[in-house]
Structure 1
Amino acid sequence: MDMDRLNPVMLITGAASGLSAAAARKFARRAQGGLILVDADEGGLEAAADAIETPPERVSTLAFDIADSERWIQAQDFIRGQYGRLDYAIVDTSAAQSAVTVSDGDLIAWSSNGHENIALTLRALTNLMGANAQGGAIVVLGLAGAAEVLRTAALDGAATNVRVNAVNQGVAPIWRNAPLFQDLIREEGDERRAFKTLVTLPSALARFDGDIFQLIRQLLSDDCPATGATLVVDGGYAL
């Protein structure tokens, strides 16, 4: 099972750091028609693009806040004008959700307005992919507590053959007991700072990457009929 379209175009949000930056490096060679990286962190985005060892001929970086609907309109116009299509997308919800701390030492809790940002992102991407005769596929990373958003996007995309699925990194209690995270707690002083450090270090996620990327590849493949599904890789908090 593979992503075997002719010259497909891929977009990745939250691509300045963490798992999405690692995904950009992992899937760059498959995006033969072009790779579009999106993040509000312009400097980090450029660094992530430069870190891709075997980039496709065309790589674009779009630095904007994905909560901005006007910027999504501009992004859609840019992609249509410069690439003509969009086939695959990886949406990192850690960049789409607003983080607030409950109290010192607590892990990040996601606010509900992050779900609205995710829905906005999925609508924009589904709109782009819906123009393709083959449709498209979107994989959302770490869509914690937003099953209805995934279900709605999958139903909306079904009419134009756009599939929307999610991959989560397990559950928090398992992940919090991992030696890697415990080491970071000792170094950083509390869970909140340890978590912020972890998501900026793609190499720290290497122990989970193989399974996660395998699932992403399978869900993006045109051979995969699934939509509205959430697959879980045990061992990590949903990033």
Structure 2
Amino acid sequence: MTARKERDVPPSDVRKPAANGGGVQSLERAFALLEHMADAGGETGLSELATSSGLPLPTIHRLMRTLVACGYVRQQPNRRYALGPRLIRLGESAARPLATWARPHLARLVEATGETANMALLDGDDVVYVAQVPSRHSMRMFTEVGRRVLPHSTGVGKALLAGLPDVDVRALLRRTGMPAATERTITTPDAFLDALRTVRENGYAVDDSEQEIGVRCIAVLVPESPTAAAISVSGPAGRVTDQATEKMVPLLREVAHDLSLALAGAGRENG
């Protein structure tokens, strides 16, 4: 995010295919395996998938062969499996309607706070920004839609990771590392988990010059979103003060709730 002038992963039993007489079991299982791979950081082995999914190895091997043949999974030279490039197009296409539904809600935040509003998703181990409505101030925050960042240095990342068990957060941090974006960035797992406990207690997350010096961001989780999502308000630290935060947080929660209802309604319409 830059200032410009003019400006416990869910346990396997949660994701077991439903006993739905109208469903196709092999299709349900294939999608479940893709989600388990995403939870593992995008790359895993068959034995790990067997442990996380509870499916027999022969079943997993058969499904993975099909996913590899379709391009949704690729097999690495070390025999492990990684999410394949064809998923990128699906993800980008899925994010577009999310952004469309989110923009009117983000515009409400901008109208009420005067600051830039963003929506971000947790995609594997990364945070990806999928929608933004910019502030009308000449000095404003700007994050490119589609930009991917590590979650430990962002408000939206904290909001998203606060919903996971500590053991899963530690595993993610081991995979990504915790490079310092600024001198304020949290760079140790213990300190980050302490910060997440504060997020859970307060119900919102703060990035105070941790991604960029002089920029402050307030973020909340979108409850019951079909995919893990957070919205935020960001601006210069001189405007996004503690006093301003007290007024922004209730509005963020209200908008997150309304956005959740909008996403649920869209899902029912498309179901």
Same fold, TM exceeding 0.5?
A: no
Q: TM-score, normalising length from structure 1?
A: 0.28
Q: What's the TM-score, normalizing by structure 2?
A: 0.26
Report which of the two structures shows the higher radius of gyration computed on alpha carbons. Answer: 2
